[in-house]
Structure 1
Amino acid sequence: VNSPPTDANISPRYKKFIVQHIKGQMSATRCDHEIRSRDITKTNSNECKETNTFIQASTNLVKTICGGAGEPYGEMTKSLQPFSIVVCTLKNQQARHPHCQYRGQARTRRIAIKCEQGFPVHFERDIIHFEN
């Protein structure tokens, strides 16, 4: 049983992480649709995010990075295993939600996330396999 985070600050950030970054069945052609339907924008604005990465995995699997399936990476935690991800990059700069248009790229990469009290709260970046 997954109990929600007890700290009131973490729960909304964890939920936001799930909305912005977890999509089990994601394809590179679905960036526009997913970003629009999930209302993903720059924080506290209606500006389009420059990039948004979707992790093709279950919430629980990503959460394991914050436990035994991750290792320290500066302030972040990096996954020991690569994940299938789709990186959505904004095509029409200066656009506003809901008119954001993205180019999607499927990749397999290790990922770096920020964990708080065992929960992922921020997606930092993907890591090319030969980086340390």
Structure 2
Amino acid sequence: MTMGPGLLFLVFLLGLVAAPPTLAQDDSRYTKFLTQHHDAKPKGRDDRYCESMMKRRGLTSPCKDVNTFIHGNKGTIKTICGANGSPYRENLRISKSPFQVTTCKHTGGSPRPPCRYRASAGFKHVVIACENGLPVHFDESFFSL
């Protein structure tokens, strides 16, 4: 039994339609990572920075306890999933070089807005999870010595 050109074309189209959701799902985890943890050029790195960034990025309903922003370009952060990262614990990568970061910690009180945050800034090695060569989860960070 042979397939005609029309049926082959239909099978080809179905294959194209089925592939993008998988790719889109991978990209959505990377996009969420960037939204929560990337800020290439911060304007100040104090408590006000944390309060405005946490609100702007949708991390204040309820108030997120701790969040770290990595200050570097996306390409450099991606390299942690490759040459600029080393295996760390189960399925994680630690950066070989430190990144400038700001960690925002909720100062307590109600978990409902308005949220108040305390900023701590420094250079740290970051630990992330990667999928398909892209960062998808921020795990923790360590001050460089």
TM-score range, shorter chain: 0.7 to 0.9
What residue is the counterpart of 1:107 in the other structure? 122
The whole-number CA distance in structure 2 between the counterparts of 1:92 and 1:71 is 35
- Give the helix-richer structure, 1 or 2: 2
Inter-partner Cα distance in structure 2 for 1:56 and 1:15: 16
Q: Greater CA radius of gyration, 1 or 2? A: 2
2:144 maps to 1:125: no
Q: Using CA pairs below 8 Å that are at least 6 residues apart, which structure has the higher relative contact order?
A: 1
Secondary structure in structure 2 of the residue aligned to 1:61: helix
- Equivalent AA in structure 1 for residue 56 of structure 2: S
Over the matched positions of the two proteins, sequence identity in percent amounts to 36
Shift of 1:80: 0.3
Q: Which runs of 4+ in 1 moved over 3 A?
A: none
Partner of 1:80: 96
1:70 equivalent in structure 2: 85
TM (norm. structure 1) is 0.84
Name stretches of at least 5 consecutive residues in structure 1 with no aligned partner: 1-5
Query: 1-side partners of 2:30 and 2:50: how far apart?
Result: 21
Aligned pair count reads 120
Equivalence map 1:1-40=2 (5 Å) = 7-26=23-42, 27-29=45-47, 30-40=49-59
SS at match of 1:92: coil
Give the distance between the partners of 2:23 and 2:108, measured in 1 at CA.
Answer: 38
State the 1:20 CA deviation. 0.6
Q: Secondary structure of the residue that 1:13 maps to in structure 2?
A: helix
TM-score, scaled relative to structure 2: 0.77
- Cα deviation digits, residues 11-44 of structure 1 (max 9, x gap): 1111011011001222133000001011124xxx
